């Protein structure tokens, strides 16, 4: 047995290493799994202790090298596990916030892969966006560059075409370095040479790329590549978690926003302003926009009814109704043509902007608008308006955001339909109430048209939104005001004085039987019709009239007059308002007809009363006459009494003195004559006798 002193030989408390050599036990081919073992030593070696010591020292050095490698592997594994745990910890502590996750992934990847810098880019299907970068110089450069499409043979370009990883030993050997100014500039600013790119994919969908690089030409090892792939997998997990969390949060926010908008709809029945304001606030926040507007469609243009977030200088332009009429190539025309969703990446590239349309120019120059999306508001294929949102940067709206805007548009349509139904119900109730009140005035003022006309004008103008007007009667030649409302006194005096239907007058339309007369701008009409300029100018200058509406008053085709509603601004009346004024015109005709019939009835009643009074007088006279006859018959012969009464002079019955002649005559043979003669003969004889004797006596 030989005693070998090694590195521990000089240490106190240590026993010397004893190497026992048993020729029968040592096998020449034996190597354990832990490394080479001591081999059998021939007799010549045993005879040379120094050789034996050298062999043992060599084997010890090999064991120490293996131990060092094991420790390095252990430390690397520990670092990887620690880095993985730290990344997972950041993922858990920052749910939905990818920035700190990406930053820690890049920091760990750079350290463990011995890289100079690192970056993580996200991919939207068309462009790459910088999400995190360790090089401040390239951060600013990418911010100025914006979303980018990499050259085809660059690492990111090859990743976008489907490769899993791209390992470039020296980027200066790539065609992209020579042909792409942007790629060359980035390489020179970042001073990178060796670059490793690993794709971030989920279900074969490219989400982005994780990149590390070195400033010297020194390719990455397989172990470093595998390590970066592990970090890429963690980045994908973080992105998926963030996506799910974001979708959950967005769904909750959308449900909350929908519930809040519905609450506003319920709390503001018929009032669309708070509904639109709440809806636009939600759309701006959830869709990440700068400003938004709601416009209704009146058949000709899209006036703005709600506006949130726009700069004050832009508000004035957006409030101008005439600016948003359908014109070739503009958004309004496309919406009217039937498109439901219109979105653009850059408003400056749209045809109507390039054509110099004022609204588009104002949106860009005053509102800095770039990307926008417009959603049509429709009910049963009827166009009600549009909801439009704008961003001040070039960032297209996603399909999810468009779907959310469509939900808001549907809510807007619900609110508009509810408001329409409520408004129609309220208007119907107001019309019924106004009709009942007018009928009450008609009943309470039979034959008196002044209070009836005043009530009709008040109700008609209030419900039609008219500033002033008049009710004119027509006598076949002249129109004269029977009632006025809101007009200045000088113009009222003109209306009460009256005026005929001059040739060329718009009132000729009423005389010819037209249903109504509607002039949107009376001042413009007067300028085009100089023959009627004086009358129209009087209405404009004295009455302050711009928009004019007149509905005729007719009975059985006969023109009785007209009822007019006017406005001080150019704002045409709607079909519903025209129909409403026609209803009040019908009530005025009823009142006029009632007054006419009542007048005729009163006239006939007066005539009958006069006849009754004459009859009563005659009856009283006859009764008095019969009384006198009765009294006279008590003293006089009936014939004499009736004769006195018929002459109407009863003075003969008064006491008076007169000279009279009394003649007594006796006709001989008269009795015998009367007995044999016919009565007619007797009467004829007496008449002849009295006729001859009377003059003689008188």
DSSP character string of 163-216: -SEEEES-GGGSHHHHH-HHHHHHHHHHT--EEEEEEEEETTEEEEEEEEEESS
Could you give the CA distance from residue 58 to residue 231 in angstroms, rounded to a whole number?
A: 40
> Quick one: pLDDT at residue 18?
38
Higher model confidence: residue 47 or residue 102?
102
Could you give the CA distance from residue 120 to residue 129 in angstroms, rounded to a whole number?
A: 9
Q: Which residues pair with 359 in a beta bridge?
A: none
Is 600 part of any domain? yes
- pLDDT tens by residue, 639-690: 777 777 777 666 666 777 877 777 788 888 888 888 898 989 988 988 888 8
In which residue are the tokens 């750079």 written?
110
Are 626 and 540 contained in the same domain? Answer: yes
> Quick one: pLDDT at residue 150?
93
Is 256 part of any domain? no
Higher model confidence: residue 219 or residue 424?
219
- pLDDT tens by residue, 273-306: 888 898 899 899 889 999 999 999 988 889 999 9
Are 493 and 610 contained in the same domain? Answer: yes
> Quick one: pLDDT at residue 185?
92
Closest by Cα among 303, 121, 124 to 211 = 121
260 pLDDT above the threshold of 90: no
- pLDDT tens by residue, 499-540: 888 777 788 888 888 999 999 988 888 777 766 555 666 788
Provide the residue count of the chain.
698
The residue-averaged pLDDT of 52-70 equals 84
> Quick one: pLDDT at residue 263?
80
Are 171 and 232 contained in the same domain? Answer: yes
Percent helix, strand, coil in the chain (nearest 5)?
55, 15, 30
- For CA atoms 234, 236, 241, 242, the dihedral sign is positive
Q: Taking CA 48 as the corner, what is the angle to CA 45 and CA 52, rounded to the nearest 5 degrees?
A: 65
Are 417 and 371 contained in the same domain? Answer: yes
Higher model confidence: residue 641 or residue 104?
104
The two structure tokens encoding residue 612: 């009754």
- pLDDT tens by residue, 360-376: 899 999 999 999 999 99
Are 333 and 387 contained in the same domain? Answer: yes
Higher model confidence: residue 480 or residue 90?
480
| Angle of helix 272-286 versus helix 222-267 axis, rounded to 10 | 180
> Quick one: pLDDT at residue 38?
47
The residue-averaged pLDDT of 483-501 equals 88
Share of the chain above pLDDT 70, in %: 87
CB atoms inside a 10 Å sphere around CB 216: 10
Could you give the CA distance from residue 390 to residue 367 in angstroms, rounded to a whole number?
A: 9
Is 88 part of any domain? no
pLDDT tier at 390 (50, 70, 90 boundaries)? very high
The residue-averaged pLDDT of 590-608 equals 85
Average pLDDT across the chain, whole number: 83
Total domains in the chain come to 5
CB atoms inside a 10 Å sphere around CB 95: 14
Rg, the chain, Cα only: 58
Pairing of strands 547-555, 478-485: unpaired
Could you give the CA distance from residue 507 to residue 532 in angstroms, rounded to a whole number?
A: 11
Are 323 and 396 contained in the same domain? Answer: yes
pTM (2 decimals)? Answer: 0.55
The residue-averaged pLDDT of 116-142 equals 92
Is 104 part of any domain? yes
- pLDDT tens by residue, 171-200: 999 999 999 999 999 999 999 999 999 999
302-306, 561-565, 592-596: lowest mean pLDDT where? Answer: 592-596
DSSP H/E element including 69: helix 49-93
Cβ neighbors of 276 (< 8 A, separation 6 or more) are 294, 305, 306, 412, 415
Determine contact, residues 189/138, Cβ cutoff 8 Å: yes
Is 36 part of any domain? yes
Are 489 and 615 contained in the same domain? Answer: yes
> Quick one: pLDDT at residue 66?
82
620 pLDDT above the threshold of 80: yes
The CATH number of residue 365's host domain is: 3.30.450.40
Share of the chain above pLDDT 90, in %: 32
Are 477 and 369 contained in the same domain? Answer: no
2 pLDDT above the threshold of 70: no
Is 515 part of any domain? yes
CB-based burial, 367-405: b 16+ in 10 Å, e otherwise: bbbbbbbbbbbbeeeebbbbbbbbbeeebbbeeebbebb
Counting DSSP H helices and E strands in the chain, the numbers are 23, 20
Q: Which domain holds residue 370?
A: 275-424
Closest by Cα among 497, 482, 486, 494 to 452 = 482
Are 215 and 300 contained in the same domain? Answer: no
- Give the DSSP per-residue string, 256-299: HHHHHHHHHHHHSTT-HHHHHHHHHHHHHHHTT-SEEEEEE--S
> Quick one: pLDDT at residue 291?
94
> Quick one: pLDDT at residue 395?
93
Are 364 and 302 contained in the same domain? Answer: yes
Are 235 and 308 contained in the same domain? Answer: no
The residue-averaged pLDDT of 536-560 equals 86
Is 128 part of any domain? yes
- pLDDT tens by residue, 399-418: 989 999 999 999 899 888 88
Cβ neighbors of 326 (< 8 A, separation 6 or more) are 301, 332, 333, 335, 336
203 pLDDT above the threshold of 80: yes
Is 432 part of any domain? no
Q: Diameter of the chain by CA atoms?
A: 232
Are 99 and 208 contained in the same domain? Answer: yes
pLDDT tier at 21 (50, 70, 90 boundaries)? very low
- Of 42, 72, 102, the domain-final residue: 72
């Amino acid at each position: 047995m030989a005693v070998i002193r090694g590195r521990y030989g000089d240490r106190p408390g240590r026993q010397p290493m004893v190497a026992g050599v048993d020729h029968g036990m040592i096998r020449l081919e034996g190597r354990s799994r832990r490394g080479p073992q001591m081999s059998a030593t021939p007799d010549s070696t045993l005879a040379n202790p120094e050789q034996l010591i050298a062999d043992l020292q060599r084997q010890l050095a090999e064991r120490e090298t293996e131990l060092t490698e094991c420790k390095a592997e252990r430390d690397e594994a520990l670092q990887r596990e620690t880095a993985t745990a730290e990344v997972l910890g950041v993922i858990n502590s920052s749910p939905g916030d990818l920035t700190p996750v990406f930053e820690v992934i890049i920091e760990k990847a750079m350290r463990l892969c011995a890289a100079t810098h690192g970056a993580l880019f996200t991919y939207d299907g068309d462009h790459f966006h910088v999400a995190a970068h360790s090089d401040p110089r390239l951060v600013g450069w990418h911010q100025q560059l914006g979303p980018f499409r990499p050259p085809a043979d660059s690492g990111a370009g090859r990743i976008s075409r489907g490769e899993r990883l791209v390992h470039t030993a020296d980027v200066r050997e790539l065609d992209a370095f020579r042909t792409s100014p942007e790629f060359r500039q980035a390489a020179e600013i970042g001073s990178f040479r060796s670059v490793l790119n690993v794709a971030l994919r989920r279900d074969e969908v490219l989400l982005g790329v994780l990149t590390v690089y070195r400033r010297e030409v020194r390719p990455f090892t397989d172990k470093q590549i595998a390590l970066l792939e592990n970090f890429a997998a963690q980045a994908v997990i973080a992105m998926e978690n963030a996506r799910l969390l974001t979708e959950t949060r967005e769904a909750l926010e959308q449900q909350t926003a929908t519930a809040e908008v519905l609450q506003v709809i319920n709390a503001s029945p018929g009032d669309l302003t708070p509904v639109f304001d709440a809806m636009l606030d939600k759309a701006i926040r959830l869709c990440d926009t700068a400003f938004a507007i709601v416009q209704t469609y009146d058949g000709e243009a899209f006036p703005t009814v709600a506006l949130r977030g726009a700069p004050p200088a832009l508000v004035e332009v957006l409030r101008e109704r005439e600016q948003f009429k359908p014109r070739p190539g503009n958004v309004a025309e496309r919406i009217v043509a039937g498109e439901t969703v219109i979105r653009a990446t850059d408003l400056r590239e749209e045809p109507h902007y390039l054509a110099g349309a004022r609204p588009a120019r104002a949106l860009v120059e005053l509102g800095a608008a770039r990307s926008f999306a417009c959603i049509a508001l429709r009910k049963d294929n009827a166009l009600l308006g549009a909801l439009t949102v704008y961003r001040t940067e070039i960032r297209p709206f996603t399909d999810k955001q468009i779907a959310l805007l469509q939900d808001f548009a549907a809510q807007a349509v619900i609110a508009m339909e509810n408001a329409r139904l409520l408004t129609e119900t309220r208007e119907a109730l107001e019309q019924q109430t106004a009709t009942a009140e007018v009928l009450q005035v008609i009943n309470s003022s039979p034959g008196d048209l002044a209070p009836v006309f005043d009530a009709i004008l008040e109700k008609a103008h209030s419900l039609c939104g008219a500033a002033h007007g008049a009710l004119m009667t027509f006598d076949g030649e002249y129109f004269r005001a029977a009632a006025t409302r809101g007009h200045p006194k000088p113009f009222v005096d003109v209306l009460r004085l009256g005026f005929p239907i001059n040739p060329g007058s718009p009132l000729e339309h009423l005389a010819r039987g037209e249903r109504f007369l509607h002039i949107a701008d009376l001042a413009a009409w007067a300028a085009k019709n100089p023959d009627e300029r004086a009358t129209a100018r009087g209405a404009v200058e004295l009455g302050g009239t711009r928009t004019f509406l007149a509905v005729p008053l007719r009975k059985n085709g006969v023109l009785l007059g007209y009822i007019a509603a006017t406005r001080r601004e150019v704002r045409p009346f709607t079909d519903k308002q025209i129909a409403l004024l026609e209803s009040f015109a019908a009530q005025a005709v009823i009142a006029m007809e009632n007054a006419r019939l009542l007048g005729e009835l009163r006239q006939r009643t007066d005539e009958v009363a006069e006849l009754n009074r004459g009859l009563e007088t005659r009856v009283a006279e006859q009764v008095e006459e019969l009384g006198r006859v009765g009294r006279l018959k008590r003293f006089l012969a009936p014939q004499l009494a009736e004769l006195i009464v018929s002459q109407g002079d009863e003075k003969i019955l008064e006491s008076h003195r007169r000279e009279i002649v009394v003649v007594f005559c006796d006709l001989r043979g008269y009795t015998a004559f009367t007995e044999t003669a016919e009565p007619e003969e007797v009467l004829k004889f007496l008449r002849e006798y009295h006729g001859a004797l009377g003059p003689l006596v008188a």
